[in-house]
Amino acid sequence: MDLQSLCKVILVSALISLVCHPCSVTAGDIVHDDDSAPKKPGCENDFVLVKVQTWVNGIEDAEFVGVGARFGTAIVSKEKNANQRRLVLSDPRDCCSHPKNKLDNDVIMVDRGHCKFTTKANNAQAANASALLIINNQKELYKMVCDPDETDLDIHIPTVMLPQDAGVSLEKMLTSNSSVSVQFYSPKRPLVDIAEVFLWLMAVGTILCASYWSAWSAREAVIEHDKLLKDPLDEIPDTRHVGSGGLLNINTTSAVLFVVFASCFLIMLYKLMAYWFVELLVVLFCIGGVEGLQTCLVALLSRWFKRIAESYVKIPLFGAVSYLTLAVSPFCIAFAVVWAVYRNVSFAWIGQDILGIALIITVLQIVHVPNLKVGTVLLSCAFLYDIFWVFVSKKLFHESVMIVVARGDKSGQDGIPMLLKIPRMFDPWGGYSIIGFGDILLPGLLVAFSLRYDCLANKSLRAGYFVWAMIAYGLGLLVTYVALNLMDGHGQPALLYIVPFTLGTFLTLGRKRGDLRILWTSGEPERPCPHIRLEHQTIEELNDEK
């Protein structure tokens, strides 16, 4: 294996460990629950995100996002039902005593601290405020709950908390002798967004393309191998590695170690999730994206430009490189650089998805599951990995490590780039529907294996395993999105649903058809040696002549 192929294998091996992330929505959960703050009479609201629209001197201005309290009147969901009220600054600022302001159904803005949230709400309500707006002393939002001993609450005004930076902006508006009014409402997220349909099509289509490319390459390698074996024995070269250059076959040990390595890397991402570390991941993603896009374009264009695709030049450290690769590389590098520079603009997700899909297809072309045994071990470990880091990690870290990393909550950015994402088109909260590369790559390894087996066994689509594996993957991903919407946007581990569908279908069909032993061990049908076939043919011809 030359240096170029070795670097490619090392790169994709490292990137696979980065990309096991769940389906999620980056806009944040609209509805929250908290077992540490149970509901009780007078304190039983859901924690909901709230839009706070402002007007300055009658002109619509900035919009902020806050969180509603457990107590008080529930926030209306429709903008047309929300009242627009004048905003005033509390005196005293903490509202821990009766405000000196004369309020007439106004919204009063207070600072957090010095007394309980419910005390502030009671004082504001007694002063004839229509709503309470609490400014946090941090940039994050905080869930406003009731104390365990508060059992006689009678708060009838809505209470909303805004982050510190929003409070600074509102205070500037108020101190500039402007008339400021606000409106609270919490729009509901649609049950299904068209973005999820397109994301489902992207995931299924990526595996479909990668599987056919992988199967075609495997069939070409077998044909080339058989041609060499048909030559006289003394002219046969060493064919043990024909068609395997640059391929990485996973074994059971590496499948288990992969999950261990991925877990360690996830912890490192969680602990080091800062601006500089996200920038480093962007660089790694660009390198992988360039390699993936280049590989896909060269394979596609070589059909029309065979001459330059088969003409090579030696480059130090990289060995023989085709002229077509040299021609395509500048475009791929420029594409990745432009995306990296402008990745924060609204349409940058298109470039990220192009680079991501190309990388996934390339990895599925290079990395192979040799048999069903390895595929079962890999997906089973990934299944446990996903469940642990999405659900169980909450007990150890007080938050879901996987979801925090996927969203980039601690980085101040939109999260790591190893995701396919599409903006939510009909969601009033905006944000993106996302799916981690791992939720496509890991099941894709098994699906690609199924098509390679079908091709080598000369099975039709109906009699083979590929169609059923694709249907199972599609259904598993569909169930993931259904669960995502039923859970009000809470991140879901996609492999929790995809693995039982995909792996269960494969194992059940293999056992029913009697192919399970071959699938489990060798992973490819037995083929008689061409020399034996030629020998039998020669003997039969001699017997016929006699």
Residues annotated as catalytic (active site), given as ranges: 386, 439
24 vs 169, 201, 419, CA distance in Å?
30, 17, 10
Question: What is the three-state SS of 198-210?
Answer: HHHHHHHHHHHHH
> What region, left, alpha or beta, does residue 434 occupy, with left being phi > 0 and alpha being psi -120 to 50 degrees?
beta
Taking a C-beta distance cutoff of 8 angstroms, is the pair 492, 24 a contact? Answer: yes
Distance (Å, whole) CA 367 – CA 360: 10
Distance (Å, whole) CA 3 – CA 327: 20
Q: Which two tokens stand for residue 203?
A: 């995931």
Distance (Å, whole) CA 509 – CA 252: 22
Residue 233 has what DSSP assignment?
A: G
Distance (Å, whole) CA 38 – CA 43: 9
Taking a C-beta distance cutoff of 8 angstroms, is the pair 311, 269 a contact? Answer: no
Judge residue 241's burial from the number of C-beta atoms within 10 Å of its C-beta, 0-12 exposed, 13-18 middle, 19 or more buried. exposed
Taking a C-beta distance cutoff of 8 angstroms, is the pair 265, 17 a contact? Answer: yes
Strand 24-25: give its sheet, edge to edge. 24-25, 432-436, 419-423
Kindly give the pairing relationship between strand 248-249 and strand 367-368: parallel
Distance (Å, whole) CA 469 – CA 504: 9
Taking a C-beta distance cutoff of 8 angstroms, is the pair 366, 248 a contact? Answer: yes
Residue 26 has what DSSP assignment?
A: T
